Structure 1
């Protein structure tokens, strides 16, 4: 019985190490959904993307005022300031594990918004998933038909 247990232990050891990708690459770890653990930056809403089809509805006036949000956080809690086409906005958020963010507050002035820009309001007290890189920020609410795609501004 000890012999069988020894063989099983050796087999398990070799089985666990046989597929090692190398000293500097961990093949068993999924890639991060974010290059950084922060949303800090100024982001312009570039498009809405249909989650099912991938079709994008681009900003109809990419050189116009548009929807521009500035996120600032300490990698845990943060604030949002900025504007849509017709309104000034402000809010707050909490970064959560697994590349999710909870928008804890979001609001602003109440001027009528054109259709495209009117969809830019973030849902208060809702949790969304995000992906962020140096130049793109993607925000997706669970069960939403569309995700929001932002690009980093040069400001």
Structure 2
């Protein structure tokens, strides 16, 4: 059965995060331009492990910079599950069959331990700022807190999808 009220919301992170991502990429280019010729020119002295570490570090810093630039969170409710994405990664995938409670709450960044995707005890947080959020508690008391600009609509969409699934 089709959910009565599908929900999809994309939240764009703060501008400072995009600036930090761009600066990270500039830093990566400068460090690579300096270290690559040295590492390649003295590969026998530097060693394979050091070069491997440099390559892994390059890709991790590249990923961090690109995540900062994209700075998108998408929350979607379908007929079968709730998805939370920190573009391009799906960080929350909760089947509706595991949902026990849904409540609209106010959240602070301090409670979440920061912005973005956070793990704090038995809770997962996906938010860019303090304010309205929806806490979805799964069977077993594990919670997902989804920051949203439309808390009532998100809550209603989840509850509608739950009712439709149980019919």
Normalised to the residue count of structure 2, the TM-score between the two structures is: 0.27
**Which has a greater percent of strand?**
1
**Which has a greater percent of helix?**
2
Normalised to the residue count of structure 1, the TM-score between the two structures is: 0.28
